[in-house]
Amino acid sequence: MEKTEQKQVIPYQRKVQYYETDQMGIVHHSNYIRWMEEARVDFLGQIGIPYDEIEKTGVIIPVLSASCEYKVAFRYGDTFLIEIEGDKFTQVRMSLRYKIYDEKKTVLKAEGSTSHCFLDKNMKPVRLKKDFPGIYEKLALHFGESIHC
Protein backbone atom coordinates (compact mmCIF):
# COMPACT_ATOMS: atom_id res chain seq x y z
CA MET A 1 0.00 0.00 0.00
CA GLU A 2 1.31 3.42 -0.92
CA LYS A 3 1.90 5.75 2.02
CA THR A 4 -0.40 8.75 2.19
CA GLU A 5 -0.25 12.03 4.08
CA GLN A 6 -1.82 11.81 7.52
CA LYS A 7 -4.31 14.12 9.16
CA GLN A 8 -3.52 15.89 12.43
CA VAL A 9 -4.76 13.72 15.29
CA ILE A 10 -4.96 14.83 18.94
CA PRO A 11 -2.85 12.56 21.19
CA TYR A 12 -4.66 10.14 23.50
CA GLN A 13 -3.88 11.26 27.02
CA ARG A 14 -5.22 10.64 30.53
CA LYS A 15 -4.25 10.22 34.19
CA VAL A 16 -3.52 6.94 35.92
CA GLN A 17 -6.40 6.03 38.25
CA TYR A 18 -5.94 4.63 41.75
CA TYR A 19 -7.72 1.37 40.92
CA GLU A 20 -5.12 0.72 38.21
CA THR A 21 -2.32 0.43 40.77
CA ASP A 22 -1.24 -2.65 42.69
CA GLN A 23 -0.12 -3.13 46.30
CA MET A 24 3.32 -1.75 45.40
CA GLY A 25 1.73 1.54 44.31
CA ILE A 26 2.58 1.12 40.63
CA VAL A 27 0.30 0.48 37.68
CA HIS A 28 -0.55 -3.20 37.33
CA HIS A 29 0.89 -4.61 34.10
CA SER A 30 -2.52 -5.65 32.71
CA ASN A 31 -3.62 -2.01 32.46
CA TYR A 32 -1.17 -1.18 29.67
CA ILE A 33 -3.06 -3.53 27.32
CA ARG A 34 -6.32 -1.83 28.34
CA TRP A 35 -4.77 1.58 27.64
CA MET A 36 -3.72 0.42 24.18
CA GLU A 37 -7.35 -0.57 23.54
CA GLU A 38 -8.58 2.82 24.79
CA ALA A 39 -6.14 4.58 22.45
CA ARG A 40 -7.13 2.35 19.51
CA VAL A 41 -10.85 3.04 20.00
CA ASP A 42 -10.10 6.76 20.39
CA PHE A 43 -8.03 6.71 17.19
CA LEU A 44 -10.85 5.11 15.21
CA GLY A 45 -13.23 7.83 16.40
CA GLN A 46 -10.76 10.56 15.51
CA ILE A 47 -10.42 9.33 11.93
CA GLY A 48 -14.18 9.30 11.49
CA ILE A 49 -15.11 5.67 12.14
CA PRO A 50 -16.19 5.33 15.78
CA TYR A 51 -16.06 1.72 16.92
CA ASP A 52 -19.79 1.57 17.67
CA GLU A 53 -20.51 2.68 14.09
CA ILE A 54 -18.13 0.04 12.74
CA GLU A 55 -20.01 -2.61 14.71
CA LYS A 56 -23.35 -1.31 13.38
CA THR A 57 -22.13 -2.20 9.87
CA GLY A 58 -21.58 -5.77 11.06
CA VAL A 59 -17.77 -5.59 11.22
CA ILE A 60 -15.88 -6.61 14.34
CA ILE A 61 -12.14 -6.17 14.92
CA PRO A 62 -10.97 -8.82 17.38
CA VAL A 63 -7.48 -8.82 18.85
CA LEU A 64 -5.36 -11.70 17.55
CA SER A 65 -2.31 -10.88 19.66
CA ALA A 66 -1.14 -8.28 22.15
CA SER A 67 2.24 -7.65 23.71
CA CYS A 68 3.82 -5.02 25.91
CA GLU A 69 7.37 -4.30 27.04
CA TYR A 70 7.47 -2.39 30.32
CA LYS A 71 10.35 0.07 30.75
CA VAL A 72 9.53 2.53 33.56
CA ALA A 73 6.59 2.21 35.95
CA PHE A 74 3.68 4.61 36.17
CA ARG A 75 2.18 5.55 39.53
CA TYR A 76 -1.18 6.87 40.63
CA GLY A 77 -1.83 10.39 39.34
CA ASP A 78 0.77 10.25 36.56
CA THR A 79 -0.44 11.46 33.17
CA PHE A 80 0.47 9.49 30.07
CA LEU A 81 0.06 9.80 26.34
CA ILE A 82 0.03 7.10 23.71
CA GLU A 83 1.26 7.23 20.13
CA ILE A 84 -0.01 4.63 17.69
CA GLU A 85 1.92 3.72 14.57
CA GLY A 86 0.46 1.55 11.84
CA ASP A 87 2.60 -1.50 11.21
CA LYS A 88 0.74 -3.58 8.60
CA PHE A 89 -2.63 -3.11 6.91
CA THR A 90 -4.50 -5.26 4.42
CA GLN A 91 -8.14 -5.75 3.58
CA VAL A 92 -8.43 -8.47 6.23
CA ARG A 93 -5.80 -7.64 8.90
CA MET A 94 -3.99 -4.81 10.62
CA SER A 95 -1.31 -4.52 13.24
CA LEU A 96 -0.42 -1.52 15.35
CA ARG A 97 2.53 -0.44 17.50
CA TYR A 98 2.12 1.66 20.61
CA LYS A 99 4.52 3.91 22.48
CA ILE A 100 3.40 4.99 25.94
CA TYR A 101 5.12 8.12 27.25
CA ASP A 102 5.00 10.36 30.27
CA GLU A 103 2.92 13.52 29.94
CA LYS A 104 5.72 15.59 28.40
CA LYS A 105 6.82 12.78 26.06
CA THR A 106 10.31 12.82 27.56
CA VAL A 107 10.35 9.25 28.90
CA LEU A 108 9.24 6.18 26.95
CA LYS A 109 7.56 4.11 29.66
CA ALA A 110 6.31 1.14 27.60
CA GLU A 111 6.04 -0.17 24.05
CA GLY A 112 3.52 -2.63 22.71
CA SER A 113 1.78 -4.07 19.70
CA THR A 114 -1.53 -5.59 18.72
CA SER A 115 -2.71 -7.48 15.67
CA HIS A 116 -6.31 -7.66 14.51
CA CYS A 117 -8.51 -9.10 11.79
CA PHE A 118 -11.77 -7.86 10.31
CA LEU A 119 -14.70 -10.26 10.72
CA ASP A 120 -18.46 -10.24 10.32
CA LYS A 121 -20.70 -11.12 13.25
CA ASN A 122 -20.57 -14.80 12.19
CA MET A 123 -16.79 -14.69 12.72
CA LYS A 124 -16.11 -14.93 8.98
CA PRO A 125 -13.37 -12.74 7.43
CA VAL A 126 -14.49 -9.68 5.49
CA ARG A 127 -12.62 -7.86 2.75
CA LEU A 128 -12.84 -4.23 3.78
CA LYS A 129 -11.98 -2.73 0.40
CA LYS A 130 -14.73 -4.68 -1.35
CA ASP A 131 -17.37 -5.08 1.36
CA PHE A 132 -16.89 -1.91 3.45
CA PRO A 133 -15.05 0.65 1.30
CA GLY A 134 -15.83 3.56 3.63
CA ILE A 135 -14.08 1.87 6.55
CA TYR A 136 -11.23 0.74 4.31
CA GLU A 137 -10.62 4.22 2.87
CA LYS A 138 -10.51 5.92 6.27
CA LEU A 139 -8.09 3.34 7.66
CA ALA A 140 -5.95 3.43 4.51
CA LEU A 141 -5.77 7.23 4.65
CA HIS A 142 -4.39 7.24 8.18
CA PHE A 143 -2.54 3.98 8.46
CA GLY A 144 0.67 4.41 6.53
CA GLU A 145 2.35 7.06 8.65
CA SER A 146 2.93 7.41 12.39
CA ILE A 147 -0.16 8.78 14.14
CA HIS A 148 -0.75 10.22 17.63
CA CYS A 149 -3.74 9.04 19.62
pLDDT for 4: 46
The answer to whether 52 is a known catalytic residue is no
pLDDT at 2: 46
- 100-145 pLDDT per residue, tens: 999 999 999 999 999 999 999 999 999 999 999 999 999 988 775 4
Active-site residue (options: 22, 52, 78, 102)? 22
User: Which residue would you say has higher pLDDT here, 50 or 10?
Assistant: 50
Q: Are 112 and 69 in contact (CB under 8 A)?
A: yes
User: Mean pLDDT score of the chain, rounded to an integer?
Assistant: 89
- Which has the closest alpha carbon to 80: 26, 143, 44? 26
CA distance 70 to 86: 20
- Using one digit for the tens of pLDDT, what is the confidence trace for 22-56? 999 999 999 999 999 999 999 899 889 999 999 99
pLDDT at 144: 59
**Domain spans in the chain, listed from the N-terminal domain onward:** 12-148
Asked whether the beta carbons of 13 and 81 are under 8 A apart, the reply is yes
CATH number of this structure's domain 12-148, picked from the four choices 3.40.980.10, 1.10.3260.10, 3.10.129.10, 3.40.50.970: 3.10.129.10
Q: What is the value of pTM for the model shown? A: 0.87
pLDDT at 10: 64
